[in-house]
Structure 1
């Protein structure tokens, strides 16, 4: 039985773990919440409590990685403001977590790493984006994700594939709910760059099953209506107040393509209409 370790069994990691179990894998999964350990165990996942900013996790990390050949890193930056400080946190909290993790990977049985990143590494731009586009993040989380990507890809002890997902949506997660009824929304003509949870899992499974390592993939559904069209239609379907958009300023035209997912990896998207 093939064993995989998933660092971060949250909104995406947990259903991914369940899909891997269904496909004959043995799964070790981590969480930062002690109450979630029995939940993971109930699904047949070998559970671990790991916080990369805590020294108490050190022996746990070693056991978590032991006997696995593949590690999926699925932890968001989650950069927040400091208490009593109105400025944005600049410390490289996420980067430090990756730096903490890497020596353990080097000493473990891990041969391949799949790093779940984000298309935020490309920054906001009026351009069509492919994997060949130079990443120029303009947010702190994007900058730290890109640095984390480099730290993993440049390490000679294991092979790393980077998977840059667009906006994540699912049956229980859609940004339309937070947009409903709002007015003067910007960028009505900007195309959406979303991906459904089912396709996130499908792409990861395809990478694992085909051993597609040392690659960078953009994970975005080939469905790009404008923000105004998409949010208006979704609000109507959900019975929510319609959002109102401001057409006074020109819209950004950032379009992210996932042709490599289809043409190189050979993956066919499940959710082609989000």
Structure 2
């Protein structure tokens, strides 16, 4: 029975772990919360308390506790899923010191010494920036946010490492039962870019795509993971607010709209994946 380690059992990692267990995999899962250890264990996930937060990460890496935890977390697994969001918005220190990049880079020696053969890194379409075209995996990334810039740097660090194979999954905007898109813009006014299209993906399809990559052994690849459904922002968010009986958003049409369409052809053609929530 194969074992998979998931670094970050949060909004996506936790239900992903449960789905993998249903598929017959053994799963190690990490959390930064002591209280969540019991929750993971209750679902059949072998829990590990791992915190790689900087600036203490470098100090932690020199401690036997952190080293032992990481080694045990990766032990006997052949696949590591890294699902840790950068969380850099408004954090000047994190921006200057490239904290997210340092976090992931600090894990590399442990991965190299482990049984890990494959790494799946959960990234974002934010690495493409605000390019005005149809974006494919061949499009050169041009991130314009600090989060996008550090995600791209981490992608490159992982893919250049010859000790394991890395597949990147660049997800669009994440939605799910507890992330209702109708609430995002409800009641707001003078919203720009009404005619730009949405590039979203449902949590269920995030999980389905990751499992499909593992099952088909599509390593050393890059995938744009976005629903094939691309209505305009005005159409989509107005409809979602209406469905929830919320105040409808009001859009500003005084300026031309701009934006990109994320193409997902590779998901459908190479993975042969069929979206379960194509219309969001």
Q: Please confirm whether the aligned pair reaches a TM-score higher than 0.5, indicating the same fold.
A: yes
Tell me if the contact between 2:130 and 2:259 (Cα under 8 Å) persists in the aligned partners: no
Partner of residue 194, structure 1: 200
Q: Distance in 2 between matches of 1:80 and 1:123?
A: 15
Partner of residue 15, structure 1: 15
Which of 129, 137, 148 is the equivalent residue of 2:143? Answer: 137
> 1:51, CA displacement in angstroms?
1.1
C-alpha distance after superposition, 1:167-217 (max 9, x if no partner):
000011023213110000010000000000000000000000010000000
Q: Distance in 1 between matches of 2:94 and 2:231?
A: 32
> 1:125, CA displacement in angstroms?
1.7
Partner of residue 72, structure 1: 81
Gaps of 5+ in 2: none
Tell me if the contact between 2:88 and 2:95 (Cα under 8 Å) persists in the aligned partners: yes
Tell me if the contact between 1:131 and 1:218 (Cα under 8 Å) persists in the aligned partners: yes
Tell me if the contact between 2:125 and 2:172 (Cα under 8 Å) persists in the aligned partners: yes
The answer to whether residue 139 in structure 2 is matched with residue 158 in structure 1 is: no
Partner of residue 37, structure 1: 37
The answer to whether residue 181 in structure 2 is matched with residue 175 in structure 1 is: yes
Closer/same/farther in 2, CA of residues 166 and 107 from structure 1, 3 Å limit: same
The runs of at least 4 aligned residues of structure 1 exceeding 3 Å deviation read: none
Gaps of 5+ in 1: none
> 1:35, CA displacement in angstroms?
1.0
Count of residue pairs the alignment pairs up: 271
Give the CA RMSD over aligned residues: 1.2
Matches for 1:1-274 after TM superposition, within 5 Å: 1-53=1-53, 54=57, 55=60, 56-82=65-91, 89-274=95-280
Q: Distance in 1 between matches of 2:44 and 2:100?
A: 29
TM-score by length of 2: 0.94
Tell me if the contact between 1:49 and 1:57 (Cα under 8 Å) persists in the aligned partners: no
Q: Distance in 1 between matches of 2:87 and 2:70?
A: 21
> 1:57, CA displacement in angstroms?
2.2
Q: Distance in 2 between matches of 1:146 and 1:267?
A: 25
Q: Distance in 2 between matches of 1:181 and 1:119?
A: 27
TM-score by length of 1: 0.96
Q: Distance in 1 between matches of 2:175 and 2:13?
A: 14
3-state secondary structure, aligned to 2:167: strand
> 1:98, CA displacement in angstroms?
1.0
